[in-house]
Structure 1
Amino acid sequence: MTTLELIKEWIKDNTFIWSIVKFIIVLVIVLSVIQIIRGYLKRKISNTVVRYKAQKGIEILGYVLLVILAITYFSGSIKDFTIIIGLFTAGLAFTLQELILSIAGSLYIFLVKVYKPGDRIEINGIKGDVIDVDSIYTTMMEIGEWVSSDNYSGRIVKLSNAFVFKGPIYNYSKDFPFIWDEFNLPIRYGSDVELAKSIIIKIASETLSEYTANSKAQWKSVVNKYYIEDAQIDPTLAISITDNWIQFNLRYIVDFKKRRYIKHHLNDKIRVEFENTKGKIILASTTIELVKIPDIKINLNKDNIT
């Protein structure tokens, strides 16, 4: 018996194995076509948002096509296909619980719109900007950690989509892409408090006018959508008296990605205006000021020396 005849005989006796081999070949071809189309879209589409959505759409369509091909391919060659699928699903659910939960999480993210690429979120104690969401992982550009404020640390984090079912998700930008921020200004006693108040409010109103106007319209839609009370959007100033100084607390609304820059800008402009008052307003500090050295009396009377 020749080699060719042996191969034909083996194929005849192992129909199921040969069917799997053919399906793997089809699988490789479909996946290759998906990657080619994704590469073509990446080169041809210049808009980042449109390019990302187009690539994701092709990827999802490819996965759906593979599932349909698998069902139609095997259902015609295997008896009791439903029983086999049931046993296979049960075993898969037991051994790949985390993977299945991740896939379910990705569907939940897309359908409920928990977050999307471009959103800033905090999940499982990790904070960052979402740069990709696939069928298993959410990819984030991390912020914080050893870097102060909301700066990128440089680390890219891949997080299982299963975590959307395991804890709270903080979204900085969904529905309302603004956040409230605040900082304190210690003013020395004896300063012109009314002048300080007018300077701070004036600078805050001028600097934050664009954010205030844009956020008011969006806040109305949030109030209409959720059971939430209306909030103060304009910059507010609260004063409290401490043992050491008069504390000014400035609270304001700002774009979630501009928090650090705006805080720096406000502090710098307020500092310059305070210095221009020529001593009418002085910032306080915890520095100890030595006013007078106490007098020291030394008795050098010889009679007291033994």
Structure 2
Amino acid sequence: MSNTTITKFLIALLGILIITFIITGLRKSVQRYVKDHSNWYKTRKTMNIFGYILAVIFLGILYSDMLGGITVVLGVASAGIAFSLREVIASIAGWLTILVGGMFKTGDRVQLGGVTGDVIDIGVLRTTVMEAGQWVNGDLYNGRIVKIANSFVYTQPVYNYSTDFPFLWDELTIPVRFGSDYTYARKLIYNMAMEKTEEYSLDAGEYWERMNRKFVIEDATTKPMVTLAVNDNWVQFTLRYVVEYKKRRIMKDALFTGILEEIEQSNGKVELASATYEIVSAPPVDVNVKR
């Protein structure tokens, strides 16, 4: 019995080494033909999973005569194993849910467990995210790589910026002084928004039509919208527009630059407001001088 066990162990070790060698050779051979980085990532992941499955099948066949005893042992210890490995089991189940349910894929901009960034790897136990935001504005990378357990899909919401509708609505505000030509200001802001975001508006409109056919959702407009509000200090115009989810900061910079240039060329029709105070008149002062 001892000799048989040692022999099977050596055969198992040799078989695993051969399977590893075959998978490594396949990866090197396929890599020469797959040039796209995204396709190569998916191909490499698929071959790795195939290697794991092949190894499990090989070990199952090799130790088939011992499966009965192993089943009895696992049946007795299942409760303890399930309790001690509950996070691991939940993470593996979450991995399957991510892959089968299409919750997100590599390259998507997501928010998972309070972490916002781009998915760069989906492992069996953890999802790896290149973080954006935090102390960096404009949804740009901050340099941190975050690993999140896959079990989060059952306990926390998953925000995907790029799955069915890879666009976002964003807003910017323009303070305008009282007495300006408000109609001209509205038209100026709207025309600049159409010039900069028209391409995104058209593409977003096509995506939104698909969303309407797939989900029960409001038929919202993807064209720019300019609204006006008044406060104690100035007239405030708010521009709402659609932009690709990774280009919010670039688009906001282009819009502000274009709007400011147009305002400066308006010959005083539109003037920007600032937090300054103008004294229109002073209350009368009555001074009595007594000897």
After TM superposition, the score normalised by the length of structure 1 is 0.86
Per-residue CA shift, 1:206-252, capped at 9, x if unaligned?
21111011111110111111111111211011111111111101101
- Matching residue within 73, 77, 80 for 2:62: 73
Percent identity for Structure 1 against Structure 2: 40
Residue 150 of structure 2 aligns with which residue? 161
- Displacement of 1:130 in angstroms is 0.7
Q: Which residue of 1 aligns with 2:243?
A: 254
State the Cα distance separating 1:110 from its structure 2 match. 0.5
User: What's the CA shift for 1:294?
Assistant: 10
Instruction: Write the letter of the residue equivalent to 1:103.
Output: I
Instruction: Give the counterpart letter for 2:187 in structure 1.
Output: S
Question: Would you say 1:118 and 2:103 are equivalent positions?
Answer: no
**CA–CA distance in structure 1, aligned partners of residues 5 and 246 of structure 2:** 57
Q: Structure 1 counterpart of 2:82, which letter? A: A
Kindly tell me: are residues 36 and 160 of structure 1, through their superposed partners in 2, closer, same or farther at Cα, counting changes over 3 Å? farther
Matched, 1:192 2:192: no
* Aligned-partner Cα distance in 1 for 2:27–2:148: 23
Which runs of 5 or more structure 1 residues have no equivalent in the other structure?
Answer: 1-11
Equivalent residue number for residue 105 of structure 1: 94
CA contact (8 A) 2:111 2:160 kept: yes
Q: Which residue of 2 aligns with 1:224?
A: 213
Deviation at residue 93 of structure 1 after TM alignment: 2.3
SS for the counterpart of 2:63 is helix
Instruction: Supply the distance in 1 between the matched residues of 2:30 and 2:282 (Cα, whole angstroms).
Output: 78
Q: How does 1:239-250 map to 2 (within 5 A)?
A: 239-250=228-239
Distance 1:28 1:288 in 2: 79
CA contact (8 A) 1:146 1:153 kept: yes
User: SS in structure 2 opposite 1:76?
Assistant: helix
Q: CA deviation at 1:25?
A: 3.6
Partner Cα separation in structure 2 for residue 66 and residue 88 of structure 1: 24
Structure 1 residues 288-297 or 64-73, which shifts more?
A: 288-297
Tell me the matched-pair count: 291
| 2-structure distance, mates of 1:81, 1:228 | 52
Query: Which has the greater radius of gyration?
Result: 1
Map of 1:6 onto structure 2: none
CA–CA distance in 1 between the matches of 2:237 and 2:15?
69
1:37 aligns with 2:26: yes
Q: Secondary structure at the match of 2:179?
A: coil
Moved more, 35-44 or 67-76: 35-44
The aligned runs of 1:267-278 (5 Å cut-off) are 267-278=256-267
Render the CA deviation track for 1:84-121: whole Å, top value 9, x for unaligned. Answer: 44346554323222111111111100000000011100
> Structure 2: any 5+ residue segments left out of the alignment?
none
Give the equivalent residue in structure 1 for 2:139. 150
Q: Which secondary structure does the structure 2 equivalent of 1:23 belong to?
A: helix
Give every structure 1 segment of 4 or more consecutive aligned residues whose post-TM-superposition deviation is greater than 6 Å.
290-299
2:275 is the alignment partner of 1:286: yes
**Deviation, structure 1 residue 153:** 0.3
Distance 1:99 1:164 in 2: 13
Give distance in 1, aligned partners of 2:278 and 2:129.
49
Letter in 2 for 1:215: A
